[in-house]
Amino acid sequence: MADPIVEVRNLRKTYGAKVAVDDVSFAVQPGEIFGILGPNGAGKTTTVETLAGLRSADGGAVRVLGIDTLRDPAAVRDRLGVQLQESSLHDKITVAEALGLFASFYDDAADPRELMELLDLADHADKQFARLSGGQKQRLSIALALVGNPQVAILDELTTGLDPQARRATWELVERVRDTGVTILLVSHFMEEAERLCDRLVVIDAGRVVAEGSPAELIDGLEGGRTVVVRFATDDAARGRTLLADVATRHPDVDRVEVSDGGLEVAVTGTPRVLFAVVPALAEADLVPDDVRTVTRTLEDVFLAVTGRTYDPQAEREPALAGEGDRS
């Protein structure tokens, strides 16, 4: 593997008695879309703002592009692209003016026209900021983060407040940006967004990393990775239940069988190969079910498995008080 382009080790950050980041470590490889995922207040923004040189830390080590951020935050600030919040622009400034203004801050700025093309803003170049839609504002904020030609860009909650269609369009643009060679750190509380976009991610909860890996690795690593639900006609249900209970006792890919809906549905859970146990058994018995469906696991199931709580992006969980759980 190449040297990480961003490396965070045992990061800790407190605000008085409040522990915002307790112990966070991860490494980002060049060219990745790397997700920092978790509910509100988990410590995501504090983590990325610290690694971007915008906040100090109380402990740990951070290297970005080979620079020790905690020692030389200004050097990192100049080389990272950080997505700005929309409120920081004047209502009357146009898309082209904003990009031109920000480009003037850099010796080696990106071409604003190319950025407008990349982010589907060319048709809105002369539109004033206040007249842009939510999606257009977000695209402009991404363009502004890229205007200094950064190797690494941080996008924080970039689709919050967007409707599903604008959100999906933004995801495509993020992939387009990555394809130009920019490594992206994506901060999100949307599990679906992270699952769709990120090559790898960390899930942060109460200031700590609770899961790390690619979405597929994390989901496939769940116990009882795949569930096949078979629904039988009333007359076949008893035979179906017996058949699938029997499959569970002799097939190594099946972990458990659960009956629901008054005995009509049987959920068979096991490895990703569980389907290979269920379908041949039904065929051999010549038992045609009314319906067969697979239940897809998501990153929300991963969150439940590692924290014991249902994922609620709005539910802030209090981290430990400062001093508690300190490691020397």
Ligand X SMILES: Nc1ncnc2c1ncn2[C@@H]1O[C@H](COP(=O)(O)OP(=O)(O)OP(=O)(O)O)[C@@H](O)[C@H]1O
- Interface residues with ligand X (CB under 6 A) are 15, 18, 20, 38, 40-46, 189, 316
CB nearer ligand X, residue 41 or residue 81: 41
Task: Say how far apart CA 56 and CA 193 lie, in whole Å.
Answer: 29
- Residues pairing with 80 in the sheet: 152
Shortest Å distance, C-beta 17 to ligand X: 10
Shortest Å distance, C-beta 52 to ligand X: 13
CB nearer ligand X, residue 43 or residue 81: 43
For the record, the structure tokens of 244 come out as 């699938």
CB nearer ligand X, residue 44 or residue 167: 44
* Residue reference for tokens 């966070």: 24
Shortest Å distance, C-beta 130 to ligand X: 25
Task: Say how far apart CA 109 and CA 100 lie, in whole Å.
Answer: 10
How would you classify the pairing of strands 291-295 and 226-231? antiparallel
For the record, the structure tokens of 319 come out as 């981290």
Residue 12 host element (H or E): strand 6-15
Distances (CA, A) of 185 to 154, 168, 270: 5, 18, 34
How would you classify the pairing of strands 200-205 and 33-37? parallel
CB nearer ligand X, residue 40 or residue 307: 40
Task: Say how far apart CA 102 and CA 228 lie, in whole Å.
Answer: 53
CB nearer ligand X, residue 42 or residue 274: 42
Nearest to 266 by CA among 289, 235, 250, 249: 289
Shortest Å distance, C-beta 25 to ligand X: 16
Shortest Å distance, C-beta 160 to ligand X: 8
For the record, the structure tokens of 201 come out as 């991610």
CB nearer ligand X, residue 16 or residue 252: 16
Shortest Å distance, C-beta 193 to ligand X: 13
